[in-house]
Amino acid sequence: AIPLVVAINTSLAARNGMLVRDRIAMEDARNLDAIIFDKTGTLTEGEHGVVDMATVNGVDEDDALALAAAVESDSEHMIARAIREAADERDLTTPDATAFEAIKGRGVRANVDGNEVYVGGPNLLTQLDSEIPAHLQRFADEAGQNAQTVVYLVRDSELIAAFAMADVIREESFRVVDALHDLGIEVAMLTGDSQDVANAVADELGIDTVFAEVLPEDKDEKVQELQDQGKLVGMVGDGVNDAPALTRADVGIAIGSGTDVAVQSADVILVQNNPMDVVRLVKLSKASYRKMQ
Ligand code: ADP
Ligand code: MG
C-alpha cells in the first residue's frame, strides 16, 4: 500500500504543477546535496538573437549570414532560428543547401554551391580541428565575457565568420540559486556552450560548480562525477540531450515544455516551466518527511 502521507504529497505536488513519476525520488529530494541545472532554456530564457558578427578579410557580412542561414535552414535549434531571423531582417536571399546533417551538441553541416559548410560552437571547432583567426578569437572572447554564445561559420575547412548571440538569464534563476544555498544545496550548471559563457552566467548567479563545453553523450558523466563525491544529485533539464543525465540523477527533474524524451527520463515533471518549482519540490519533500517522523 502507498503510505497515506506519500499519497497526500503526490496530490499536493500535482496541485503545485509537479507531476511525480517516481515517489522514491520525491522522497529523496529532501536529502539532495547538489542540483545541476541545464543552462540554456532553464536558467536562461534561451531565446537567442544575433547581436553582432565578424568575418575574415574578403568575406562580406551579408554573404556570410546568408550562407549560415542556408546551412541552418533545416534545424529546429534556437540558434538556427536566430540566424535565419537575422538573415530575414536584412532581407537576404539564402542560397540553396543540400545534404543537411545535425551534429549533436556541436552544430550543423550542409553542402552549398559545391562547398562543405558548417555552423557550430566550440565543440564543432574541436571536431573539425579548425584554427580561429586572431581577430575572430578576440571577437569571441569579448562576446563570451558578455555571456553571449558564439557560433562559427566554416567553409571548406576555413573558418570565415563568427556570430554572437544574446541570451538572458531568467529573473527567477537568481532567487532559485539563493534559496537552494539557504537550504544548504550546492548549485551546479551543465552546458554545451563555451566555458566563457558558462562562467559569465555562473558568476552572475553565484553558481558553485560549472561544467561547460560538455557533449550531449557526456552529460550524464557529470552527474556521476558529483555522485562519486558521495553526493545525492538532482538534475534539471528540458532537452533531448539532457535525458541520460536526468536518468542518471538521483532526482531527475524535467521542466516546462520539456521534450517527450526528457519527460520520460525524469522522476518529477515541473509543468509550469518555473525554476522556482525546484525549490518548492525540495521544501515539499522536507515538509512531508517531518510529518512522517
Ligand atoms: P545546451 O547544452 O546548452 O543545452 P546544445 O547541446 O543544444 O546546448 O548545443 C550545444 C552547443 O552546440 C551550442 O551551444 C552550439 O555551440 C552548438 N550547436 C548545437 N546546435 C546548433 C545549431 N543548429 N547551430 C549552431 N550551433 C549549434
Ligand atoms: Mg538544453
pTM score: 0.86
> Ligand 1 centre from 236 Cα, in Å?
18
Residue 209 and residue 139 in one domain? no
- CB-based contact 45:275 (threshold 8 Å): no
Please count the structural domains in the chain. 2
Protein residues whose CB sits closer than 6 Å to any atom of ligand 1: 38-40, 72, 75, 77, 79-80, 105-108, 119-121, 123, 149, 151, 191-193, 216, 239, 241
Q: Which atom belonging to ligand 1 lies closest to the Cα atom of 40?
A: 3
**Cα-based distances in Å from 207 to 16, 102, 180, 185:** 26, 31, 10, 11
Residue 99 and residue 133 in one domain? yes
Sign of CA dihedral 41, 43, 45, 46: negative
Residue 151 and residue 267 in one domain? no
CATH code of residue 105: 3.40.1110.10
What pLDDT tens digit does each residue of the chain (293 aa) get?
555 555 556 777 777 788 888 888 989 999 999 999 999 889 998 878 999 999 999 999 999 999 999 999 999 888 999 999 999 999 999 999 999 999 988 999 999 999 999 999 999 999 999 999 999 999 999 999 888 999 999 999 999 999 999 988 999 999 999 999 999 999 999 999 999 999 999 999 999 999 999 998 899 999 999 999 999 999 999 877 889 999 999 999 999 766 677 778 899 999 888 999 999 999 999 988 666 55
Residue 175 and residue 285 in one domain? yes
- CB-based contact 285:251 (threshold 8 Å): no
CATH code of residue 191: 3.40.50.1000
What is the domain extent for residue 253? 4-45+168-292
Catalytic residue among 28, 33, 38, 193: 38
Residue 112 and residue 210 in one domain? no
Print burial letters for 256-267: b (CB count within 10 Å at least 16), e (below 16).
bebbebbbebbb
| Domain end among 166, 200, 216 | 166
> Ligand 2 centre from 288 Cα, in Å?
31
| Domain end among 132, 166, 200 | 166
User: Rounded to 5 degrees, what are φ and ψ at 104?
Assistant: -50, 125
Residue 262 and residue 131 in one domain? no
Reply yes or no on whether 277 is catalytic. Answer: no
